[in-house]
Chains A and B, each alone.
Chain A
Amino acid sequence: QHGRVKVKTTAQQEEEKRKEREKKLKIYVAARDACFAKRKEEIFDDEALQLTQQLLSSNPDFATLWNYRREILLHLETVKDENEVQKIYEAELSFLESCLKVNPKSYGSWHHRGWVSARLPRPDWARELGLCDRCLSLDDRNFHCWDYRRMVVKVSGVSVEQELGFTDRLICSNFSNYSSWHYRSTLLPLLHPECPEQASPHLCEEQLLKEYELVQNAVFTDPNDQSAWFYYRWLLGRGMWAVVCHEQMLGGAEVHPICDLPPGTIHDTTNEHNLTVHWTEKHNHRECALYTGTVWHAGNKLSKHSFLQEHEMVLLLCRSELSVEKTSVLQSELLSINQLQELEPLNKWCLLTIILLMRALDPLGYEKETLAHFQTLKEVDPKRSAYYSDLCSKFMIENTILKMEYAEVRVFSISDQNLTTLCHLDQLLLVTHINLSSNRLQRLPPQFAMLQCLEVFEADNNSIKSLEGVYCLPKLEEISLKNNKISTLADLQPLASCPKLTHLDLRGNPITQTAGVESELAKLLPSVTDLQL
């Protein structure tokens, strides 16, 4: 056809491409073999440098070649003067830039860049920061770049203020960025500590308010974005706790049962507050440290003497979720998050934050609202309903402990509250009567064995299958487990270790259907005189 542009067909193009690829592969393989041969012979010359450069610029993830290259460069360092070395390394940096263009997430390239920057006689850190900024503007989640940048910042001594400004910039361009928010959380306490004399993980109030404003802008703009909510929770004071313990107080009258805890009842999971324990003197009874001592919070002694008085201890426990003491601040936060909730009634992050705020402010006063919010949470986020149930259980237990302590009784009763899990058992060491009836418990965990003063225990109408925690309880006399799911004799085995157990009610359990269960039980638990089946 006259005058038309003739264009190659797809088949022609394919064929050409295939040939091109074959040609490339041949060159690549030849170069690779040449490199390996040279390395074997320990030749560190310019040719080797060029060969590896050729290969790495098409495939920057070839770790062996980077190693070889470093060997060559180290050798060159020994034979060249400083200016020449500087030039070689500068060339290396610009070569690396081209590799990063091929693959911005190449482990080999970033690692090599770090190595080169560290060896460069006269490093240009400003240029490196510029490179990081460019990379992060293309992909603000490139963790290789974040890592490298941290190294550069550390070595070049970029000020904390500048770095905070850097996070400002990143967050403004896109706030869905965990890296930036987290970086912020590490910078702020350095720049605006709560008390200037002392390093602390907490912020001064003025800055804290500014941060609340910033993060609120984010959660109101996009309440479904997790990153900002996580930062918000950090702001609300999930800080670290430090406990300083004084060994001499162990002899106090009130702590008597603690020293004899059965082994295994106290371990990391028991302690839900990540307390760091510092012994001031010799450390004999490690476990006891959890219950005696002085809590330092943000440089202030919160409990002056010790935890000997349980009352103080409990108050602390329940406030520990949110360490910000300034109630007014929390109050206004609650107000604005409530505003958000009105606009977004089904947002789970919002609901959860409201619950946490309410607990920080007044756990008992907001109990009703908290429960209602938990109900909504389970409906809007059914995939995590078990988590919410456990969290709700935890809060209910905390509230019950509070009430119990206000009433100054040693009776712990929490029935018909949909409990799914038990926690804070370490707070119930002195309790003599426990009633957990009509909940949704499935097991009594090993930590239950901490309840060394327990005399009467009721847990009717649950779904308990396992009693593994009910062992070695020296004072336990009476257990009622009506309408649970205990089905085998083995399930009851732990009870055999409770010497004073006399009353046991197992009505409504599958085990009662087993033939000859009564005589078996009499054998297993000889001390029980009042058995109901």
Chain B
Amino acid sequence: MHLSKSDSTSITNLQVFCYTSEEEEDEAQCNDALNTTVGKEKTADEEALKESAVCAESQDEEHVAPEDPQSFLGQWEDPEEDQTHPSVASFQSEPTRKKISFAQLVKEGRRFNIDLVSKLMFSRGSLVELLIKSNVSRYAEFKNVTRILTYHHGNVEQVPCSRADVFASRQLSVVEKRKLMRFLTSCMEETEEQQAYYSRPYLEFLHDQHLGDNLQHFLLHSIAMASPDTPTGEGLASTRHFLRCLGRYGNTPFLFPVYGLGEIPQCFCRMSAVFGGVYCLRHSVQCLIVDKDTNRCKAVVDSRGQRINCSHFVMEDGYLVGDRKKMDTSLRFLSRAVLITDASVLPGESDQQVSMVTVPSTDGSPTVRMVELCSSTMTCIPGTYLVHLTCQSVGSAHDDLSPVISRMFQTTKPDNHDQRPFVFWCLYFNMADGTALEVEGHDLPSNVYVCSGPDGNLGFERTIELAELIFKKMLPEEEFCPPAPNPEDIIYDGEPPSSTGGEEEQEGPADQEEQHEPEPLN
């Protein structure tokens, strides 16, 4: 059975703009709108991040990488941002004014960690619980998202969500403070009043709580992160989730991994490697060898013609050849933009803020979620901010997001009277939204499993759920991500555990960044 050479639909409409020119020569397009099929050969600079060939393979029956879906995320991280710049530079190489020139950005390229997926970890979400339970958390550090912002009446405002925030807020009247606190406390319990609204819009429920326009905006868009037509039941559920996550690690419900989201799959892989997982890097899988009698995949053949035996095979849906794929009619896309800016959208006392910004939809344009990362997250250099914008696609990423960007940022000549942050560099692209994928129902051998690419949700709930689902299918008897034992509790008799590497010798060169293949053997 052959696999598709690359996932042809995951990244489309790639556009890069650089605004750090002296003259007003904006909209310098480099990688011009690539239409729906972006061949990786065409966009050499983006190749690394486009490679989403993931082949998880395991020989050992009992231990198959529970981290697989995590590792997909790893594909979306671009660890070599400096690769991107040179090609951009060829289009737009004029040195710039203001504090940071384009040349500097290129020079410092290694210090930018740009995730292709923009997500945050809910501090009581399933990813955090899993990281804690499995002890994988020891391999990473996290920063609190320090504030929740929203775009309201043409201004960026801070959303007071914790008790301390409400107390300190200057934009709320004392009566609003009381109403907000009261609502937040009361909505934790289910009441008959709520029941009556369950299927009606959440906005209607909020409206009938006499909260006022400000509070309704905060509660709907920033706390529930819902849209005006979200039903009350759903709105309340997400409000409660938000509130439950508050205060565990800080004043907002979110955590962000230092060095970016790409750290997460890496941590799981590292844990796996500690217990003998083997990774074959730069070996993409070309085809599967299937035993017709048992309808099981016996082995895979990699791009170099090497045969690797396996008992389970997990892959992303992009590798499915067309006729095997159960086509989902509602295939959705995300519009994404990544900016490097010179200032925060809401400058505060500290310049080291990590902000989650909600931009509600305006006349038909989609609701945009924005995450602004400061340099202490180690995703950008000091003096810059890395801004991720995400929304459900209506048109191309540029169509969907450039109106928001031009409203909230300056992209033309830096103007000192303009308070808005200036955009040095900007990337637009569309990517498939993994939410829509059907995991079941493909015409595949029984030990081949398909998982989706990243979904458009803010949290990791679906990813973890999917990972556990696939794991349980492979190994119904095993615990999912059990706590790793402490090193002092491991008994080393005879050979050290790392050398008992299973039946198959397939140690790949562990020096490249692609092809994570977690495989805990021991």
Contact = CB atoms under 8 A, between A and B. Distances in A.
A223 B275 CA distance: 53
A6 B493 contact: yes
A270 B275 CA distance: 78
A173 B164 contact: yes
Contact of A220 (B62, B168, B178): B178
B522 A4 contact: yes
Interface in A341-386: 343-344
B280 to A, nearest CB: 19
Given A222-B181, A343-B179, A5 B167 contact: no
Interface string A3-35: 111111000010000000000000000000000
B177 A217 contact: yes
Interface stretch (B89-97, B413-421, B483-491): B483-491
Contacts of B330: none
Interface in B51-77: 60, 62
Contacts of B521: 3
Contacts of B275: 5
B163 A221 contact: yes
Contact of B491 (A7, A173, A344): A7
Contacts, number: 66
Contacts of A220: 174-175, 177-178, 181
Interface residues of A, number: 24
B491 A6 contact: yes
Interface string A172-186: 111100000000000
B166 interface: yes
Given A6-B493, A217-B177, A221-B178, A175 B522 contact: no
B502 A3 contact: yes
A339 B168 CA distance: 20
Interface string B148-183: 000000000000000110111000001101110110
A343 B485 contact: no
B500 interface: yes
B497 A218 contact: no
Contacts of A217: 167-168, 174, 177
A8 B174 contact: no
Contact of B177 (A3, A5, A221): A221
Nearest to B274: A5
Interface string B496-522: 010010100000000000000000011
Given A221-B181, A343-B175, A5 B164 contact: no
Given A339-B175, A340-B178, A221 B490 contact: no
Contacts of B174: 216-217, 220, 336, 339-340
A445 to B, nearest CB: 42
A5 B485 contact: yes
A30 B3 CA distance: 71
Interface of B: 60, 62, 163-164, 166-168, 174-175, 177-179, 181-182, 275-276, 485, 489-491, 493, 497, 500, 502, 521-522
| Nearest 5 Cβ contacts at the A-B interface | A220-B174, A6-B491, A220-B178, A7-B485, A221-B167
9 contacts: A3-B276, A3-B502, A6-B493, A172-B164, A172-B167, A217-B174, A221-B181, A343-B182, A344-B178
Given A7-B489, A220-B177, 11 more contacts: A3-B60, A6-B493, A8-B489, A172-B167, A172-B168, A175-B164, A216-B174, A220-B181, A336-B174, A339-B174, A343-B179
